[in-house]
Amino acid sequence: GHKVKEVSKGIVITTNEDDIFESAVIAKKALKEELEELRFHFNSLDVLAHQIVGLSLEYGRIDLKKTYEIFKRSYFYRNLSYKEFLDVCEQLKQLGLIFLDSSIRKKRRGFEYYFSQLSTIPSLKQFKIFNILDNSFVGVLDEEFVALHGEIGSTFVVKGEAWRILDITEDKVLVEPTIDLEAAIPAWEGELIPVPFDVAQEVGKLRGEIAKLLISKSEEEILSFLTENYPIDINCAKKMIGLIKNQFKFGIPDDKNILIESYEDLLIIHACFGSLVNETLGRFISALLTSRIGSVALRVDPYRIIIKAPVKVEEYVKEILLKTDPKLLKTYIELSIAKSNLFEWKFVHVAKRFGAISKDAEYGKITLKKIIEEYSNSPIYRETLRELEVEKLDLERTEEILRKIQSGEIKISFIQGLSPLGKIGIVG
């Protein structure tokens, strides 16, 4: 149906029960013509820097106040403070891209910078994966995956097999095969689109609804309900019912209930809050745990936060969720994220867009840490934090979730052992 005036038809193929629930909800929302919430970038300082240089090239010399007023006319910069604007101008002056006094004047270096940074889309390099046992080529990983998960000793899945990272060079990841599938980071599939909060909540509601129906209705009646209300086939409906039936004795994590289960050295927090909230909540919990017991490993998906720790952490997590002031969330997250691989990865792209790092620069971890320290509290540093908070986190909604947990609106229950939903999160 890819023609004008025709209706396109498609089939969604799912790989596990998580996918079935999520796809059913998204397909229903699409048929109801519901749109995903949009998140915008306001006061982007790297874009501001680029356009300031652009104005200097266009006018040759332009008054500071006039430049500021031009930006304030834009919807996305309507709340830009004069101090923020001046900080960016000062940064550009220090980088040798403009002359600055009571006006902004063009500088020769500004031409090269302006025309080499015409896009905010970063050019990502790829790392080749080699099996160290026989030096065979395994596949490739994107720069972001290496930045986020590329710790020596961590494991990941690619092409259906688990691999442990032994070393990372400038363009290679050296690995060995491992059978430790349960500890593996979810398979590398490129950058997945985050699952929105509303979709994850709807998945939770659907789980709860099936659980209620199982108490009073026959399986045939539940099958009819699912196939009538969601665009799914009978096989998917059976899988959904089977999962909730098997999960029943452990408790059903839904839109209003968090289930926390302990299994060996893992703590699995079932939370139907979507990718961004779970990422934020997971980093918040791991930051506070690290300050108490040392380093912990964290994995997150739209329906779970999985923590691997050397000791039992249920009581710590309970205290963190129920006792920590939600107003402190932003502070804890920013302190934690500023030390992360994710921050380093994003900082490089922002610094390049500012012209602080050349486009083809090569640098090691130690050099990069020194560069970040040098630019601490600069517009580049602040822009890195801002972008991460928009693209990877949801501070506002996570703060609201914490309040609801502490008021009892969202309930928490603890169990021992691995439930069917927990197994999906670990093995995928």
Of residues 366 and 277, more confidently modeled: 277
Residue 233 token pair: 């086939």
Write the single-letter amino acid at 355.
G
Of residues 141 and 382, more confidently modeled: 382
Q: What is the pLDDT of residues 278-300, one digit of tens each?
A: 999 999 999 999 999 998 888 89
Report the phi/psi class of residue 292: left, alpha or beta, with left for phi > 0 and alpha for psi in -120 to 50: alpha
Q: What is the pLDDT of residues 40-98, one digit of tens each?
A: 999 999 999 999 999 999 999 999 999 999 999 999 999 999 999 999 999 999 999 99
> Is the pLDDT at 185 greater than 70, yes or no?
no
Phi, psi of 259 (to 5 degrees): -110, 130
Q: What is the pTM of this model?
A: 0.87
Average pLDDT over residues 152-173: 84
Residue 239 token pair: 């899988």
- The pLDDT score that the predictor gives to residue 339 is 87
- The pLDDT score that the predictor gives to residue 170 is 77
Q: What is the pLDDT of residues 215-248, one digit of tens each?
A: 999 999 999 999 999 999 999 999 999 999 999 9
> Is the pLDDT at 183 greater than 90, yes or no?
no
Average the pLDDT over each of 151-160, 263-272, 386-395 and give the range with the smallest value: 151-160
Q: What whole-number distance in Å separates Cα of residue 82 and Cα of residue 227? A: 57
- The pLDDT score that the predictor gives to residue 188 is 45
Q: What is the pLDDT of residues 104-117, one digit of tens each?
A: 999 999 999 999 99
Q: Which long-range contacts (CB under 8 A, 24 or more apart) does 226-229 make?
A: 226/24, 229/28
Average pLDDT over residues 339-363: 86
- Mean residue pLDDT of the chain comes to 92
- The pLDDT score that the predictor gives to residue 186 is 52
- The pLDDT score that the predictor gives to residue 182 is 54
Q: What whole-number distance in Å separates Cα of residue 302 and Cα of residue 295? A: 23
In the chain, % of residues over pLDDT 70: 95
